[in-house]
Structure 1
Amino acid sequence: MLSVLIETRNHEDALARTLASLVGGAVEGVVREVIVCDGGSSDRTHTVAEHAGCSYLAGADALSGIRQARSEWILILEPGARLLEGWMDAVLSHAEVAAGAARFTRARQYRQPFLARVFAGRRPLADGLMITKRQALSLARADGLAIARSVSARRLGAEILPAPPSAKTA
């Protein structure tokens, strides 16, 4: 049903945290595959991905991962982001009734005040991005950040703990 795409570079610990939050989705059949696009890690990112059963693409960008994805829906996450309880129901509901992109709602403790959001800037993938493979390919962007910047998305009812700023993709 869902292919998860994670772009990373030297984020083995952050990647492990994100993968752990996806285990329930894999068991329930919501997550069909996880594709790790590695931009040249020198740490043990490959080992983490391999032990978790992910498809590992060395030296690959998001577009390569999207082309390889086997599902109609793709979920792009930053390494270190963690999906909270209830995310599977929200994803399934969205996929059944909507054709457009969606983002998770940031967990209450990680929501920024309005002025902080305006002046601090935004990490486009901090809230994840659920998008159809067709829409992602039509954007023809090389990385997940560029895809996330170029698409408007509605909010899902499920929450995400965003990756800490130090764990975002390189």
Structure 2
Amino acid sequence: MLSVLIETHNDEEGLARTLSTLIGGAVEGVVREVVVCDTGSSDQTHRVAEHAGCHYVGSGGIAAGIRQAKGDWLLFLEPGARLVEGWIDAVLAHTARQTMAARFSRARGSRPPFLARVFSANRALADGLVISKRQAASLSKNAGSAEALARGLATKKLDAEIWAAPPRYKRRR
């Protein structure tokens, strides 16, 4: 039903955190697969993906991951993002009645202060993205990354929350 795509680059710890929040979805049969699209990691990202049973795409970028995905709906997440309990029902309800893409709401403790929101660059995938495979495949033709695919996309808000991944400059060393 749902394929999860995570684009990584030296994100072994963040990937493990994100994968742990997807276990409930896999048990419920909602998460069909997780595709990890790596952009040249030199850490153990590939081992984390393999040990968790993910499909690992080491070349071809996000477009290759979308082509490999088997679900009709895709869930894009940043490594380190954590879905809050209740996300499964919200995603199922949305995909049953919508054709439009959707994003999660930020968990209260994950929301940046007002001035930080005003003066920092928004990350298009900070709130995740649920999108039909057909729409994602079409958008991926002109997008070099998952972030570029999600940028500027009109979306609905899901009735579920996400703890956003910390900004990249804090996650990488």
Q: Same fold (TM over 0.5)?
A: yes
Counterpart CA distance in 2 for 1:93 and 1:86 is 11
Displacement of 1:60 in angstroms is: 3.3
2:153 is equivalent to residue 151 of structure 1: yes
1:130 partner SS: strand
Counterpart CA distance in 2 for 1:143 and 1:121 is 17
TM-score, with normalisation over the residues of structure 1? 0.95
Query: Structure 1, unaligned stretches of length 5 or more?
Result: none
* CA deviations over 1:55-77 (Å, ceiling 9, x no partner): 00113311110111101100000
Identity of aligned residues (%): 62
Which residue of the partner structure matches residue 111 of structure 1? 111
Displacement of 1:114 in angstroms is: 4.1
Counterpart CA distance in 2 for 1:116 and 1:79 is 21
Which residue of the partner structure matches residue 142 of structure 1? 144
Query: Structure 2, unaligned stretches of length 5 or more?
Result: none
2:32 is equivalent to residue 32 of structure 1: yes
Displacement of 1:150 in angstroms is: 3.5
Match of 1:167 among 159, 162, 171: 171
Which residue of the partner structure matches residue 121 of structure 2? 121
Which residue of the partner structure matches residue 42 of structure 1? 42
Which contiguous aligned blocks of 4+ residues in structure 1 show a shift greater than 6 angstroms?
Answer: none
Counterpart residue identity of residue 148, structure 1: A
Which residue of the partner structure matches residue 19 of structure 1? 19
Size of the alignment, in residue pairs? 168
Counterpart residue identity of residue 108, structure 1: R
2:22 partner SS: helix
Counterpart CA distance in 2 for 1:55 and 1:41 is 15
Displacement of 1:119 in angstroms is: 1.9
TM-score, with normalisation over the residues of structure 2? 0.93
* CA deviations over 1:72-130 (Å, ceiling 9, x no partner): 10000000000010000000000011100000000001123444322222111100011
Alpha-carbon RMSD across the aligned residues, in angstroms, is: 1.2
The answer to whether the Cα contact below 8 Å between 1:38 and 1:61 also exists between their aligned partners in 2 is yes
* CA deviations over 1:126-159 (Å, ceiling 9, x no partner): 0001100111111122211011103111110100
